[in-house]
Amino acid sequence: MAKVLVTGAAGFIGSALSRRLLDRGDEVVGLDNMNDYYDVNLKKARLARLEGDPRFAFVKMDLEERQGIADLFAAEKFDQVVNLAAQAGVRYSLENPLAYVDTNMVGFAHLLEGSRHHQVKHLVFASSSSVYGANTAMPFSVHHNVDHPLSLYAASKKANELMAHTYAHLFRLPVTGLRFFTVYGPWGRPDMALYLFTKAILSGEPINVFNHGRMRRDFTYIDDIVEGVIRVLDRVPAPNPDWRPESPDPATSNAPYRIYNIGNNQQVALMTYIEALENALGMKAERNMMDMQPGDVPATWANVDDLIEDVGFKPQTTVAEGIDRFVAWYRDYHQL
């Protein structure tokens, strides 16, 4: 089995992925800086699900610590790296843009350097559906150009894809970027809509519904995201023999580089999402209908044809199923 570095291991996706890797017999080194962007106690609770396993080791460190990251790679000799650490949040990037430069770009460069100097067999990194930005051709395809981001968060994720391609080209480092679409489920982030809505409804407070409820999202359940990451991690990308520089395909390369969407491959109206939550809670929400937020987009929808073709997987968890599981977890976690 492999030794895997998972960055952002105390995070929503990172902790779930680490658990799956441990369950299948891999050795996991989890890295996280445990910042207070949201409740650190939730991060500690996620880690507690991992730390009893003898094949798990936790390292508290910032990705920006150049020498620390270099020393970690030299000491551990990782087979694979999954980068899920990032300063998250589209709206927060309007207030604290430099946090995104430090973690999402400088930190990622340190991982690229560590991976190339220590012959990592495959680096998989989290991109985001937000890179599609001003694009409106749907469903969003990895073969579309994505050169018009609408937030610095999105721009930092697009930058990661470009940086990764450069290392794949120059050093033949196998890299795969994954564009996640609106991930939700148990152990989710408190700053995301489902958590905020649930907390407000149970407290008898109104929920803020942006774009007057006309949002549509490709909501993707956490277990589907993790399954997609695992399958892609096990498939080391090879150069595309059909790639042509006169008509370059953004999703592939003549280097060992690949981009995939991981989404549920369907649009769900925000109001339908809220209704599913009301059904799961057995309570109605009072809605504050609000304008669109700066940096946000009205709709997302993932084309996952490449994911299906290459790794044989398509997310299938319905919103009703996923929300029911989240509500059950929320009530248990908060002892309600």
- pLDDT tens per residue across span 224-256: 999 999 999 999 999 999 999 999 999 999 999
Q: Which two tokens stand for residue 62?
A: 């910032």
Rounded percentage of the chain residues whose pLDDT exceeds 70 = 100
Rounded percentage of the chain residues whose pLDDT exceeds 90 = 90
pLDDT, residue 285, reads 96
Q: Is the pLDDT of residue 47 over 80?
A: yes
DSSP SS3 for 275: helix
Mean pLDDT score, 99-114: 94
Residues 6+ apart with CB under 8 A from 124: 80, 81, 82, 83, 175, 176, 177, 178, 229, 232, 233
Rounded distance, CA 150 to CA 118, Å? 35
pLDDT, residue 92, reads 77
Q: Is the pLDDT of residue 49 over 90?
A: yes
Q: Is the pLDDT of residue 82 over 80?
A: yes
DSSP SS3 for 128: strand
Mean pLDDT score, 257-286: 97
Catalytic residue among 153, 221, 257, 273: 153
The continuous run of DSSP H or E covering 3 comes out as strand 3-7
Say if strands 183-184 and 268-269 run parallel, antiparallel, or are unpaired.
unpaired
Q: Which two tokens stand for residue 96?
A: 């604290």
Rounded distance, CA 121 to CA 174, Å? 7
Q: Is the pLDDT of residue 148 over 80?
A: yes
Mean pLDDT score, 143-148: 96
Question: Rounded to an integer, what is the distance from CA 284 to the centroid of its chain?
Answer: 30
Question: The pTM is what?
Answer: 0.96
- Least-confidence region, from 29-33, 85-89, 105-109, 176-180: 85-89
The answer to whether residues 206 and 274 touch, using CB atoms and an 8 Å cutoff, is no
**153 catalytic, yes or no?**
yes
Confidence band for 91, pLDDT divided at 50, 70 and 90: confident
pLDDT, residue 296, reads 84
pLDDT, residue 96, reads 83
pLDDT tens digits, one per residue of 50-81? 998 999 999 999 999 999 999 999 999 999 99
State the chain's mean pLDDT as an integer. Answer: 96
